Each structure stands twice: as C-alpha cells, then as structure tokens.
Structure 1
Amino acid sequence: MENNSNTSKIGWMALILVSLSSFIIALDSTFMNVAISNLVVDLDTTVGVIQIIITVYALTMASLMLLGGKMQDVVGRKNAFLAGAVIYGIGTAIASLSINATMLLIGWSILEGIGAALMTPATASIITGTYSGKNRAFALGIWTAIASVGAAVGPLIGGFLTTFFSWRWGFGLELVIVIVVLAFSQKLKYFPPSMKLRDIDKLSVLLSSVGILILVLGILSLNSVKNLEISILMMGAGIIFLIIFYLWEKKLINRNIRPLTDIRLFKNRNFTLGNITRLIMQLALAGAVFVLPVFLQQVTGADAFTTGLVILPLTIGLLVFAIASSRISTRIAPHYLISIGFLLALAGSYFLSFQFNLNTQIIDIIPGTLLLGIGLGLALPITGDIVLSSAGADKQSDASGIISTSASLGSSMGTAIIGIILILGIINGIYIAVDQTFPNEFSKDEIRQGLIQYTQKMGTTNITSLKGNETSNAYKIVNKTVNNAMKTTFDFVSVIFLIGFIISLFIRPLNRKRTG
C-alpha cells in the first residue's frame, strides 16, 4: 500500500514537472507576439528581424528534435530532460538581459531552442514510462492541453507583463519555472540509457537537421517577391534532404544498424495521420495567434495587455475542452472527436474571415476565437494519445521525437506561412482598393512602384485616426486593404482545417487494450 502511494505521488509530480516545462516552451513561441513593437524600440531593430527571431526559435527546436529524442537513449530520459532544462535556463537568462537583437537571438532562439529540443521529446516519453492504461491517456491529454494553453495564453501573459512591467519579466518568469523544475527533479523516475553516443548515426543527424532547417528557411524567405525563386529552390532542397534522410534510415534498418529514427513507425496509419493532423493544428494555432495581435495592435490600436485579453476566449476554450477531451472520448470515439474538433475550428476561422475592417470591435472577434479554442482543445490532446499509443514501449523515444518534431515544425511553419499570406493579402488588397477607388487612373506598374512607400507609411501612421473620415479615399483604401488581407489569411486557415478534417476521417479507432 505504501509503495502504491509513493508511486502515485511520483506520478503526479512527474506530470506537474513535465507539464510546467511544456508550458514555458509553448509559451515562448507566442508570448512575445504582442510585444513586437516594444522589442523593436527597446532593441533598436525592425519588425522583420523580430519575426525572424520568433520563427528561428521554433525552427531550432524542429531541426534538432529528432536528435533530442534519440539523446534519451544515450543519457536516459530524465538526464536528457534535465540537460535541456539547464541549457534552456541559461538561454532565458540571456534573453531577459538582452541589449540588442543578436543577444536575444542567441539566448531565446538558439539556446532556448536547443534546450527545448532536448526537453520536449523527454516530456512525452517520461509520461509514457510513468503512466499506463487510462492514466497514461489522461496524462498525455493534460500534457498536450497545458502545452497548447501555453501557446494560446502567451499573448495574455506577454501583454500583461509588457504593458505593466517589461517583456523581460516574461523570460524571468520562465527562469523561475526552470529553477522549480530542477529543484524537484529528484521526483522524476530514472530511465537507464540503452545506447552509446557513438552509436548515433552522424549522417542521419546532418540530413534531418539540414533538411528541416532549409525547408522552413525557404518558407520564411517567401516574405519578399524578389526571393521567390530562391525560396522555391530552398524548399525543394529541404524536401530532397528529407527524402534522402528517409532512404538512408531505410538502408540502415535493412543492414540491421540502429537508425536515428525508426521510420517503420510510419507504416502504422494512426501514427502517420496522427502526426499530420497534429502538425496542421499547430500550424493553424501558431498562425492565428501571430496574426490576431498584428491586427489588434496595428488597426484597432489595442495595447499589448488588451490584445492578450481579446485572445483569452481562445485560451479558455482550448484549456477547458482539452482537459475534458479525455472524458468526452469515453463517449465519443477519439478519431471522431478529432474530426469534430477540426469542424469546430473550421467554423471559427470561417466566421473570423468576415469580421475584420477598420470598424471591427473586440466583441466581433470573440465568437470566432472561442470556436477555434474549443475545436483545438477537443482534437489536440487526442492526437498525442493516438500517436504514442501506436508505438511500442521500446519505440517511445523515436515516437516522442517524431511527434515533437511535427508539432514544432507546424508552429514554425505557421508563423512563417501566415505572415506570408498576410503580406500577400495586403498587396492584393492594395491593388483592389486603389483600382476600385480610382478606376482606370493608375496602372499596376504605378501601384507597384508606390507600394513599398505606401506600406512603410501604413506602418508609421495611426490607422485609427482614419475612422473619423469614412468618406475619404484614404479610409476606403486602407479599409479595403485590411479587410482583404485578413480575409485572405483566415480563408487560408479555413482551408488548412478542411484538409485536416478530411485526413482525420481516415484515422482508425483507438485500440484501448493496446494503450494499456
């Protein structure tokens, strides 16, 4: 009886510690989105540089996650987790003291990214090694829910700290949590290593890391039409690297050599589709949480804290339904619950696509963000259970590395792609607005020549001041531009959710016996 009690206490403590670490890692990807303007001023840089720094954080995680997952086998799950926590803590300390963009890049994007790449896969495998049966399904649901809430609540926490204190306090808060995790780390179960460092295939590490890195950098570089050709080349090169990586892993397996990642896991339909749906949801969530603060601050003039409050319905919906999803899944089959989640999120993004213009009120956005949160809350935790339950006990390090990579890749791609779609929407909106306001007065070449100067002016002009003169040409042009840009963005998000819904229809029922 005493042993069972001790095991229970250790189990709860393990869930708390790994959930706290997942929370700050996810928080890191969004809590500075509402502080972009403050970062630009304090660090004497540009919005473009800050967007790159935000994206590189998720990019660093994604490119190193497979290696981070395999390091669990080399040093043990607990030791990999703690090593990542130490590196992460050093990074967040540097970030909080940053005096320029380079220092923020090193501390936040690089060091914290490396630390997160070690911690994140270990959090999943520590849970699967500590829990079993329904307790494991519930723990995975809570783990996913807390991480998702971290991403969604980021703007609120970042907004509060930025408005009333400083964005630096956000990194300080993370450092405190890291110290707490390290202080109670003796409560984590020890998992012995199962391989040596020399057994890791170096070529596999190189191919996977470079492939993901080049792929996402190619996507990021699409923010300029001038870079179109090189962007396509980079994305193509990244995909080629990943294909070569896949073929190389297959060759190692055929030779009975231990691969970096056991690609045979992808033969399981649920494992593959679970990862794809998870990537799609993370992409859409990261994109929405990135673009909403941009609109609220640039168009409505909301401060950072108010911006965070506006996104609160998304956070609440995600948290409540993510926690409830494990109980709901006992009445509704998990694979159906994922499909329902996609449909609700699709309804939310479709609703939002019609809500944005210069007269948009905060209340207009709430129904859509709430639906987004509910849909993601229902679906995200279930995907984690489906993916990890599809892998055997001896494949948990590989499975945790892959699921963490897909989530991180989705987040980094979400910020980059949605930013690109927004820019394209602005460009197209300006063409449409000028053509409708001044029909046949300007050619496309003339509009294009003035486009750079115009967008620069928009970035330094108080758009809210235009609301007093709705009959002016300036109001008409800016209003139509804003409307088209935001509609284009959320139409794209809706299409992403639709694709995810279709894919979810092919997920097979979860085998509860196998899960236990």
Structure 2
Amino acid sequence: MADPSTSGSLRAVLVPLALAQFICSFAGSNMTVMINDISRDLHTTVQGVQISITLFLLVMAALMIPGGKVTDRYGRKRCFLAGLALYGVGAVLSAFSPGLGVLILGNSIFEGVGTALLIPPVYILTTLLFADFTARARAFGAIMAMAGIGGAAGPLIGGLITSAISWRAAFGFQAVVVVVIILFSRKITDPLPVNPARHLDVGGAVLSATGLVLVVMGILLAKVDVWLLLAFLLAGGLLLLWFFLWIRAKERAGREPLVSLALFRNRTANLGMVTQNIQWLLLMGSSFVVATYLQVVKGYSAMATGVIFTSATAGLLVSSLAAGRLAKRRAQRTLIVAGFLLTIAGVGVLLVMAWWVPNPWSSAPGLLLIGLGLGVMLTPSVNVVQSSFGEDQQGEISGLSRSVSNLGSSLGTAIAGTILVAGLTSHAYAAAMITLAGIGLLGLTAAAGLPRGQVTVETAAQTGPR
C-alpha cells in the first residue's frame, strides 16, 4: 500500500472495508422481505425463517470476540480475506439450498462465522490508519453509513431481486459483492506485525458463545413453552457467569483471557456499548417486525415491502453521510441522545399510522425517522468505544464492540420477532413495536450518561473505572 498518510491511498483502503460492512449488514436484513417466498419454496414457516435470520446474527455475536483476538495472531488482512471466503461459500450454499437445514448451514453458520472473522479487522484497520479524530470520525461515518444502508436497504434490494428473479438470486448477489471486495482488498497491507505467540482462550470462547446461544435460543422458544424459555435463560446465564469467573481466574493467574476485564472498567466505553447494542436491536427488530407485518398480515409482495423501506434507507443515508460534519459541530453524547429521540419518535409514528391510516405507505414516515435517528448515532457510538482505548487494545475492543452490536441485532429479531410471530396480528405488531420503544428508552438513558465533550483515551480514563 502507498503511504497511508495520503488521502487517496486511505480512500482506496476504506472502500473494501466499507463494502464488507455493507454486505454483512445487508445479509442480516434482506431476508426479511423473502419470508413468504422462502417459507413457501422450502416448505417451512415464518418462524423457521426467523430462526435462520436470528442464528446468523447470533453466530456473529458469539464469535466476534474470538474473531477480534485471532487478528493479532494471524494478521488483520489474512483474517479479513479468510472471513470473506467463508462468507462467499455460505452465500453460494444458501442460494442452492434445497431445505431449511442447508439454508441455516450456509446463511447462519458459514456466513455468520465468516462475518465474525472479517468484521473486527474492519474496525481495527480503520482505528489504526485514521489517527486524526476528525478523519477517524469521517472514516467510521462512511463505514457505519454502509452498515446502516446495508441493514436498511437490505429489504429494498432483496425485495427487488426476489420479485424480479428469485430469493436465491439475492444470495448470488452477495457472492458477487464478496468477489468484488476481495479484488479491492489487494491495496490493503497490515499496519501491525502478526504475533504468532498470541494466546487464544478456547475455553473462554466456548463458554461465552454457548452462553449467548442459549439465552437467545431461549427467547426464540418462548412461543413453544415458557418453562423451556426459563430453562434456556437460566442455563445461558450460568454459563456466562462461569465465563466471567473463568476470565477473572486466568487474569489473576497471569494468563491471557479471551477478553480482559479491564475493558469493562471503562464507564464511557460501557455506556457506548450499551447504546450500540440497543441501536442495532432497534434497527433489526423494527426491520423484521415491519417487513413481516407488511407481508404476512397485510399481504404485500417482497418488492412492495422493499420499496416502502426506501424511506428508512434515505434517512440513514442522509444522516450517516453527514456524520463527519456533525462530529465537528456537536459532541458525541448530543448526537447519540438526538438519535435515540428520533428513533423512538419513529417507532411511535409507525404505531399511530398503522392503527389509523390503512395505506401501504403509512409506514414510510416512521421508517424515515428511524433511519434518520440511527444514522445520526451509529458513528458517534462506535467512535466513543474505539477512542476510549489505545492501539494495544484495539483488537480486543473491536471484537467486543462488534459482538455487543450483533448481539443487539439477534436480540431484536428474537424478542420483537417472537412477540409478532406468536400472533401475526395487528395487536401483536403493536405489542412488538411498544416493546422496541421501551428498549429505546433504555438506550436513551445510557446515552444521557456519556461525557459531554469529545471522547479520547484521556477523557475516557478521567471518568474512572466503575
């Protein structure tokens, strides 16, 4: 790669990184408009498709922390390319899947593992290459814009491809984009040397991944049996407690755990990760609920549903592209608080319009507000977390941050989706959206606790460990 200080070479590096984030976010939301087509073609149910979507997001969340750790041992570019290759294989498997089982293998497992491997390098490389605060904010703005657009435009692009060709072609589209990203990635070189001696805490990875899987699967099983729900939640909670004790014991023994407890002693970063989790919960939860409601309850086609979602895409595009300018004028806390207020207002508008205006476009104003709100706060939340730590901890915090965000996505489809799928009526839709609004208020509370100025390693440290 050319001198990384030149803007041209930085832009060349940023293109494949932003495209990688786009396609991973796209994969999490584009299936929401294919629910009727997939369930009919594969002889499954709405809940079967929900499980596939949620498992994809969950696999990402469960493996993102170890995915961040292996970048130090094997190299950021190598992990990035390996993740893209796995993702591409998963997309091809999904495109040719004869049943739900193969779809889950390709989409949920291969694409999920590939994403967990390729996403941490995106954030590590961006943090290391863009040293200036404003330049980093602009770079994260571009990446998070592509993340948000991928999540919001997934229904539109997926709907158009599904209606024009087939839902299988949407996975073919993903495979093509992966090939393009690999070609663009030739200009990337790793800014830090690999560390083959870096220890990987396999026991911690197994405990954390299994605990998260059990918790989310418990939520998905709520419709089946409440006792099964409680059993899974209890088992998952106990494994996560075991994980905490495990990493604490390893640190006290002087060995390297999967994730350092020091990452959780930074109050600013903790609040930032809470806002990240809830932002993605709101994005994926509202996308799944609105798309399912429009198709299954209202009977709209995949293309019509996707077109309605253009309002959310437009909102995300406008506010995300303005992230760099906004970062110069407003504190990160201000932007995140404003984003939550807009998003919660958007959920409220969705509820009111769905109840009083029986028109397919009645969802557009609410989706627009949600898109604007999420676009405003996605970038500053990432910047708050990444800027709270030095270069030596970027691998760990990138993996943890992405894990928290993807856990939010899986919880969004699991919680709100389970409420909707339990009834598939207008009342179930209202209950799901009210739940999302309540969770949004929790995110607003966390955002209000962030420092008022711009966050750097020094200002984050001044908040004190909690």
Q: TM-score range by the shorter chain?
A: over 0.9
User: What is the CA-CA distance between 1:46 and the residue it aligns to?
Assistant: 2.1
Tell me which residue corresponds to 1:375: 373
Give the C-alpha shift of residue 334 in structure 1: 1.0
Partner in structure 2 of residue 216 of structure 1: 216
Correspondence for 1:510 among 454, 457, 461: 454
Task: Tell me which residue corresponds to 1:339.
Answer: 337
Q: Structure 2 CA distance, aligned partners of 1:313 and 1:242?
A: 39
**Is the contact made by 1:64 and 1:114 (CA closer than 8 Å) also made in structure 2?**
yes
Other structure's SS at 1:329 match: helix
Q: Distance in 2 between matches of 1:107 and 1:5?
A: 36
2:177 match: 177
Change (3 A) 1:196 1:352: same
Distance of 2:125 and 2:234 partners within structure 1: 36
Matched with 1:310 is 308
Q: Deviations over 1:211-262 (max 9, x none)?
A: 11111111111123xx211211211221221122122212222222112112
1:474-485 superposed matches below 5 A: 482=426, 484-485=427-428
Which amino acid letter does the alignment assign opposite residue 129 of structure 2?
Answer: T
Measured in 1, the distance between the counterparts of 2:380 and 2:32 equals 27
Aligned residue runs from structure 1 range 96-495, under 5 A: 96-133=95-132, 134-190=134-190, 191-196=192-197, 199-224=199-224, 227-357=225-355, 360-423=358-421, 426=423, 482=426, 484-495=427-438
What's the CA shift for 1:421? 2.0
- The whole-number CA distance in structure 2 between the counterparts of 1:297 and 1:206 is 38
CA 507–310 in structure 1, closer or farther in 2 if over 3 Å, else same: same
**Greater relative contact order: 1 or 2 (C-alpha under 8 angstroms, separation 6 or more)?**
2
| 1:35-55, Cα deviation, whole Å (9 max, x unpaired) | 111111222222221111111
What residue number does 2:73 align with? 74
AA paired with 2:205?
A: V
- Contact residue 389 and residue 514 of structure 1 kept, 8 A: no
Contact 1:283/1:413, CA 8 A, preserved across alignment: yes
- Whole-angstrom distance in 2 between the partners of 1:281 and 1:16: 24
1:498 is matched with which residue? Answer: 441
CA distance, structure 2, for counterparts of residue 3 and residue 172 of structure 1: 33
Q: Distance in 2 between matches of 1:275 and 1:232?
A: 26
- Asked whether the 8 Å contact 2:275–2:447 carries over to 1, the reply is yes
Q: Gaps spanning 5+ residues in structure 2: where?
A: 460-466
Cα offset, 1:338, TM superposition = 0.4
**What's the offset of the Cα at 1:423?**
4.2
CA distance in 2, matches of 1:258, 1:70: 11
SS at 1:31 equivalent = helix
Task: Supply the AA of the counterpart residue of 1:192.
Answer: P
**Which protein shows a greater Rg?**
1
Q: Structure 2: which amino acid aligns with 1:95?
A: S
Task: Give the distance between the partners of 2:112 and 2:434, measured in 1 at CA.
Answer: 31
Distance 1:87 1:3 in 2: 28
The answer to whether the 8 Å contact 2:387/2:457 transfers is no
Q: Percent identity among equivalent residues? A: 36
Q: Report the Cα distance in structure 1 between the residues aligned to 2:435 and 2:387, rounded to whole angstroms.
A: 31
Structure 2 vs 1, CA of residues 368 and 3 (structure 1 numbering), >3 Å: closer, same or farther? closer
Moved over 4 A (4+): 2-7, 512-515
Q: Return the letter of the residue paired with 1:367.
A: P
Give SS of 1:184's match: helix
The equivalent residue for 1:465 is none
Answer yes or no: is the 8 Å Cα contact 1:90–1:107 preserved in 2. yes
Relative to structure 1, is the Cα distance of residues 158 and 146 closer, same or farther in structure 2, using a 3 angstrom cutoff? same
Aligned-residue offset at 1:357? 4.5
CA distance change for structure 1 residues 381 and 6 in 2, over 3 Å: closer, same or farther? Answer: closer
Structure 1 pair 510–237 and aligned structure 2 pair: CA distance change class (3 A): farther
CA distance, structure 1, for counterparts of residue 455 and residue 82 of structure 2: 35
Structure 2 distance, partners of 1:180, 1:363, is 35
Q: Provide the aligned length of Structure 1 versus Structure 2.
A: 456
3-state SS in 2 of match to 1:356: helix
- Distance in 1, matches of 2:181 and 2:362, equals 40
Contact 1:299–1:358 (CA under 8 A) maintained in structure 2: no
Distance 1:303 1:120 in 2: 32
1:434-454 deviation line (CA, Å, top 9, x unaligned) = xxxxxxxxxxxxxxxxxxxxx
Q: Distance in 2 between matches of 1:196 and 1:90?
A: 30
Q: Which runs of 5+ in 1 are unaligned?
A: 427-454, 456-480
TM-score, normalization: structure 2? 0.94
Query: Match for residue 21 of structure 2?
Result: 22
Structure-1 separation of matches of 2:304 and 2:96 = 26
